[in-house]
Amino acid sequence: MSTSNQATIASISNFTAIFQAAYDEYKRHTGQDPNTHPFFMELETCNHPDDVSKVLRKHAQAFARFREGDDNFCNG
């Protein structure tokens, strides 16, 4: 196995571990299953890091609009 492949596998493993930790913390803090939250369901459709970035950017922009007084925060 090449060094590049090993680095990719390690990166994917780290990425998975981070999301699993976030999943577990959300469930512990809220008592709710993240699988039922629309934001999590949207992230589940992502197949590439760029897809995740787009989802996060969309929600960050919606939150910024909310902070500026736009009442349509949830419609982001």
Residue 4 sits in the same domain as residue 28 = yes
Helix intervals (H) in the chain: 3-30, 38-44, 49-67
Residue-averaged pLDDT of the chain: 84
Q: How much is the average pLDDT of 8-17? A: 78
Question: What is the span of the domain harbouring residue 24?
Answer: 1-32
11 vs 35, higher pLDDT:
35
Within a 13 Å sphere around the CA of 15, how many CA atoms are in the beta-carbon half?
Answer: 10
Give residue 73's pLDDT: 55
Residue 47 sits in the same domain as residue 18 = no
Q: How many domains does the chain have?
A: 2
CA distances, 75 to each of 14, 38, 62, 70 (Å)? 32, 12, 8, 10
CA angle, residues 24, 60, 70, in degrees to nearest 5: 125
Give residue 74's pLDDT: 56
Q: How much is the average pLDDT of 61-70? A: 88
